[in-house]
Amino acid sequence: MTSFAYYPGCTLYTKSKNLDLCARETAQILGVELKELETWNCCGAIFSTVTDDIANQVAPIRNLIEAQKISNKLVTLCAACYNVLKRSNLYLAKAGNETYRKRLMNFLDTEYNGKTEVVHYLETLKYDIGFDNVKAKVVKSLNGLKVASYYGCLMVRPSEELKFDDPDNPVMMDDLFAALGATPVDFPFKGECCGGYILVDKPEVATKCAQTVIENMAASGAECVATTCPLCQYNIDNQQKMMSKQYNLPIFYFTQLLGLALGIDEKILNLNNHFIDPKPLLKQKGLLQ
Amino acid sequence: MKSEKKRIGVFVCHCGINIAGVVNVPEVVKRLKETTDAAVVIDHQYCCSDPGQNLIKETIQKEKLDGAVIACCSPTLHENTFRKTAARAGINPYNCEIANIREQCSWVTEDKEKATDKAAKIIKTLIKKVQYDEPLTPISIPVTRKALVIGGGVAGIQAALDIANTGYPVILLEKNPSIGGKMSMLSETFPTLDCSQCILTPKMVEAKQHPNITLMTYSEIDSVSGYIGNFKVKVRQKARYVDWDKCTGCDICVGKCPKKVSDEFNCGLSERKVVYKMFPQSVPNRVVIDAPNCLYIQKGACRLCEKHCPFNAIKWNDKDEIKELEVGAIVLATGYELLDKQRLGPYGFGKLKNVVDGLQFERILSASGPFMGEVKRPSDGKVPERIVFVQCAGSRDPENAMAYCSKICCMYTAKQAILYKHRVHQGEAVVFYIDVRTGGKGFEEFYKRATDEGILYIRGKVSKIFEKGDKVIVWGADTITGKKVEVEADLVVLATAMVPAAEKSFAQLMKLTQDEYGWFTEAHPKLRPVETLAGGFFLAGASQGPKDIPEAVSQASGAASKVIILFASDTLEHAPVIAGVDEDLCSGCGVCIDVCPYKAREIQVKEDGKKKTVKVIEVLCEGCGACSAACPVGAAQQKNFKDKQIEDMVKVGLE
């Protein structure tokens, strides 16, 4: 079985356990082991753009060094971790940043030059496993479930660094769901902001962002939403109850839908951890007893 | 190479203080007199002035010189001047050389002593060169006084008419079945609001009826060979499946044809038949059959057009025909296209029905368009109550599309908004812009008219366009108030960037250079805007960059006048400073043939039938020297830049 170093991140140990557990379980079924880093710390949470940011870069780079003990590839799940770890790594390895690299190394025990490749689990599914092989392992086809794949901002931008997918029209998750038997719903807000952290400071702004996205998904005919990001999950899920019109769009982590299709235990799916209860929809679609 | 020594005169120019301010000219003269075998060394305030030139001429004659070095500015400025002076004095002009002691010495050296040393050395190397220079005579080439104009839009038509009116024959080539180009698709033109067709069709007809113009429509270039004055062009005339000698353009077949496909002339907003005429005023007024969509050609069924044609003009066995042309000059009037909306992701990838581009909206406004001039939107034919116009859609956007300004969009957007308001009085027009650029005659006044007529201009870029119900929502920034704005529209018109119509492969066929976006590169951006670096090719209209109609027309007339100048004489002179071949040394290996960028070298078999050597096609050689550098045995030698000359110049320079 191929093993890849795996970085869960803080939220996946607390609020978003289902994102994490479903990923580990589905990887196992697909013949890949996600081997958690022996020790890890905060990814940094936000990619620092200030000039003197040695302190902010130590955290992500430490994780990348730790990954080297397992593999050259480090798999991530949370959109924010993916964004921060990948960009910190690129910044360190960038030509012209040699002085910065030397200074940074003063704070770290192991010499490191950027050779850990940061990937997202979606990329592992697409490039290492292959969507065709995923399709072959489906035990419960998603049966035309209309899914809006919501990528949010962190997965696709800045596109010249992340090179994940077309920032204006990402399709990697859509393609995965098509392989699982679902019907991907195209909508023009796949990469728009969910409101993010501004919820804490200016909730009215965050509400407007999330509600615009929700309206747009619903208008495009979505029955449910899938995401890679705990914050998007929270905002899209939580904001719906405040809206004058109730759309009742359950929002899943993409690993939950993958797990459902691959037939993992319902306990691991943990469908109770949602504001909008997804069970009625799944029952209606014959995907749940 | 001559064995006897030349009597060489050196003329050192002060160029006012340009040279003499840094270089100690009297000292240079003194050193040259002492250390070289120059017959005469003289200095002058301004050698290029009349007295200066007279001094050079008289000295050459009086001292019986047979070579001259003028130490002055760059040869790109005055080489020609002094070579003519030398010729007037009776010596071969190619035995007069320039020592550049201004751009390469006085202007770039601060230290006066160093500059003086350097000037003296530069001059010494040139004395050495002149010593070995051979007398050369320009090469004479015959000129075929017949022109080919590629592209039958307004620029091509204008160029063809101008050339034809001076009496020279012109072939006007167009890839579509009719000439007329983009201008024939426009409704009205800014800033005067004349009807585009009304001012263009007389020119189209004139081109068709002109005794000196041969129209070749539905035709494309297959290959081009030869050189200035003597091009050989193969043209592919596409199969029309209609005998144009018999066809009268009556359109009976069009009425009978059962199959409809998307109409390119209406930018996909309506359908046309498979046998079709591009538009009612097509020139020539003939129909063609669109073979890939024809039921008979593809599936063997139908033949209704044939049955109903009163003139028996349908010709099923028609084939592409290759026609060979011999012309002396080629005018490229290949025009532009609009940037594909699919490239504009945030504006809906071209998938939203009620988001159209500028040309589509021209067709919507046009009396002969899909809605007969009534402003309706494509999705449901409703009259739009609010239209949002988005300027710079893909222009001035280096991250996502084109970095350049497409130049015409500010004015055509104002025009389209005005025309919309004229047709739909209660309608609202909102324009998003970065800047409104009104550089042109009557343009600013026209923009003022647009704002006076109640068109709302919002300064800011549009970030996103999406559908909501049957409306189109436009998100943008208002950078004057600093607020985000959302406008609900019934129709959105994108002023998409202009992009060149000529593809890379086409430019390669012509061996012409394009800039990074594909516009043809002019010989000089300011002083030679209608010529190209390849002799005999001229640029007209938007093939060189975004242009409006008056600019395209004036550039076309400019290109035509260059063609006429070329045709004024039946021979052409080509500079003789080109490569030669020492046939005793040449082994015929052909290395030089591959490196020659001008295809000016070929293998020839000597008369004895055994030895192969390389021959230079003199008119094609531009004297770049690539062959001399590549030749392993030193057989390829540049005239007046022979190895021996350069070695001696280097030696003197390093003394």
Residue-range domain boundaries for chain B: 8-138, 147-329+540-567, 336-499, 578-638
What residues of B are in contact with residue A168 (Cβ under 8 Å)?
A: 345-346, 349
Q: Is the Cβ pair A216, B345 closer than 8 Å?
A: no
Tell me: do A117 and A148 sit in the same domain.
no
Per-residue pLDDT, averaged over A150-170, amounts to 93
Asked if A202 reaches chain B (Cβ–Cβ under 8 Å), the answer is no
* Dihedral over Cα of A203, A208, A214, A218: its sign: positive
Structure tokens at A212: 């615009």
- Is A189's Cβ below 8 Å from some Cβ in B? yes
| pLDDT at residue B1, rounded to an integer | 42
The 3-state secondary structure of B229-286 reads CEEEEEEEECCCCECCCCCCCCCHHHHHCCCEEECCCCCCCCEEECEECCCCCCCCCC
B475 part of contact set with chain A, CB < 8 Å: no
* One-letter identity of residue B365: L
Fold agreement between B147-329+540-567 and B336-499: yes
CB contact under 8 A, A188 and B469: no
Q: Which of A159, A160, A166, A168 to mutate to test the interface with B (most CBs of B within 10 A)?
A: A168
Tens digits of per-residue pLDDT, A203-226?
999 999 999 999 999 999 999 999
Which of B21, B15, B22, B62 is CA-nearest to residue B40? Answer: B62
Nearest CA in chain A to B399: A160
Give the minimum alpha-carbon distance from B348 to chain A in angstroms, rounded to a whole number. Answer: 7
A·B CB contacts under 8 A: 17
Task: Tell me the percentage of chain A whose pLDDT exceeds 70.
Answer: 100
Query: Regarding the domain delimited by B578-638, which CATH topology (the fold level of the hierarchy) does it fall under?
Result: Alpha-Beta Plaits (3.30.70)
Q: Is A152 left (phi over 0), alpha (psi -120 to 50) or beta?
A: left
In terms of DSSP bridges, do strands B491-496 and B355-357 run parallel, antiparallel, or are they unpaired? parallel
Which B residues 168-227 touch A at CB under 8 Å? Answer: none
d(CA A249, CA B625) in angstroms, rounded, equals: 72
Are A182 and A256 contacting, i.e. CB atoms less than 8 angstroms apart? no
Q: Is A220 on the interface with B (CB under 8 A)?
A: no
Q: Do B464 and A188 touch (CB under 8 A)?
A: yes
Per-residue model confidence (pLDDT) at position B99: 97
Same structural domain for residues A157 and A110?
no
For every residue of chain A, DSSP letters joined together read -EEEEEE--SGGGTTTHHHHHHHHHHHHHTTEEEEE-SS-----SS---SSS-HHHHHHHHHHHHHHTTT-SEEEE-SHHHHHHHHHHHHHHHSTT-HHHHHHHHTT-SS---S-PEEEEHHHIIIIII-HHHHHHT-SS--TT-EEEEE-TTTTTSSHHHH--S-TTS--HHHHHHHHTT-EEE--TTTTS---TTHHHH-HHHHHHHHHHHHHHHHHTT-SEEEES-HHHHHHHHHHGGGSSS-----EEEHHHHHHHHHT--HHHH-TTS-SS--HHHHHHTTS--
The string of DSSP codes covering B497-539 is PEEESS-HHHHHHHT--B-TTSPBPPSBTTTBTTB-SSTTEEE
**Superfamily of the domain at B336-499:** FAD/NAD(P)-binding domain (3.50.50.60)
Same domain, A146 and A280: yes
Return the amino acid letter for B351: K
Q: What letter represents residue B640's amino acid?
A: N
Distance (Å, whole) CA B385 – CA B281:
32
Domain of residue A60, CATH code: 3.40.50
Distance CA B638, CA B643 (A): 8
Supply the pLDDT for residue B386. Answer: 98
What number of residues does chain A have? Answer: 289
Tell me, yes or no, whether A72 and A11 share the same domain. yes
Decide which of A121, A148, A163 is a domain's last residue.
Answer: A121
Mean pLDDT computed over every residue of chain A? 94
Residue of chain A whose alpha carbon sits nearest to that of B470: A219
Cβ within 8 Å of B, A 129-168: 166-168
The reply to whether A91 falls in a domain is yes
* B548-567: b (≥16 Cβ within 10 Å) or e: bbebbbbbbbbbbbbbbebb
Distance from CA of A229 to the nearest CA of B (A): 22
Q: What is the pLDDT of residue B577?
A: 92
Distance CA B105, CA B111 (A): 10
Specify the pLDDT at position B511: 81
Q: How many domains does chain A fold into?
A: 2
Task: Please report, for the domain that includes residue A159, its CATH number.
Answer: 3.40.50.11810
Taking only residues 220 to 249 of chain B, the set having a beta carbon closer than 8 angstroms to any beta carbon of chain A reads none
Q: Please tell me the number of Cα atoms within 13 Å of B483 on its side-chain side.
A: 5
Asked if the structure places residue A128 within a domain, the reply is no
- H helices of B300-348, where? 304-308
Q: Find chain A residues with C-beta within 8 A of B345's C-beta.
A: 166-169
The continuous run of DSSP H or E covering B600 comes out as none
A188 or B215: which leads in pLDDT: B215
Bridge-partner residues for B215, per DSSP?
B172
CA distance A168 to chain B (A): 5
In a domain, A34, yes or no: yes
Nearest-by-CA chain B residue for A190: B346
**Is residue A172 located within the same domain as residue A102?**
no
Specify the CATH architecture of the domain B147-329+540-567: 3-Layer(bba) Sandwich (3.50)
Distances (CA, A) of B585 to A255, B580, B636, B637: 75, 12, 9, 11
Q: Is B649 helix (H, G, I), strand (E, B) or coil?
A: helix
**Interchain contact, A168 vs B349, CB within 8 Å:** yes
Confidence label for A289 from pLDDT (cuts 50, 70 and 90): confident
Looking at the structure, tell me whether residues A78 and A153 fall in a common domain.
no
B469: contact with A, CB 8 A cutoff: yes
Q: In this structure, is residue A132 part of a structural domain?
A: no
Q: How confident is the model at residue A92 (pLDDT cuts 50, 70, 90)?
A: very high
Shared domain for A106 and A184, answered yes or no, is no
> Encoding tokens for residue B623?
């004297």
d(CA B11, CA B3): 24
Same domain, A236 and A177: yes
Q: ω into residue A250 within 30 of 0, thus cis?
A: no
**Domain finish residue from A86, A121, A156:** A121
Residues of chain B with confidence (pLDDT) below 50: 1-3
* Domain-located, residue A126: no
Per the structure block, which two tokens stand in for B338? Answer: 């609009």
The enclosing H or E element of B359 equals helix B358-365
Calculate helix-pair angle for B409-423, B443-452, nearest 10 degrees: 40
| B130 SS3 class | helix
Q: For an interface test with A, which of B462, B466, B470 has the most A Cβ atoms less than 10 Å from its Cβ? A: B466
Q: Are residues A153 and A275 located together in one domain of the fold? A: yes
Q: State the Rg of chain A over Cα.
A: 19
Token pair for A15: 């609020």
All residues of chain A having their beta carbon less than 8 Å from the beta carbon of residue B466 are: 188-189, 216
What whole-number distance in Å separates Cα of residue A224 and Cα of residue A149? 9
Q: Domain of A227?
A: 137-284
Asked if A169 lies within 8 A of B468 by C-beta distance, the reply is: no
B348 touches chain A (CB under 8 A): yes
Task: Kindly give, in sequence order, each residue whose CB lies less than 8 Å from that of residue B366, ignoring residues fewer than 6 positions away.
Answer: B185, B186, B187, B373
Within 10 A of B245 (CB to CB), how many other CB atoms are there?
Answer: 9
CB atoms within 10 A of CB B648: 16
CATH 3.30.70 fits B8-138, yes or no: no
Around Cβ B49, how many Cβ atoms within 10 Å? 12
> Are B446 and B414 in contact, with CB atoms under 8 Å apart?
yes
| Residue A157 sits in the same domain as residue A218 | yes
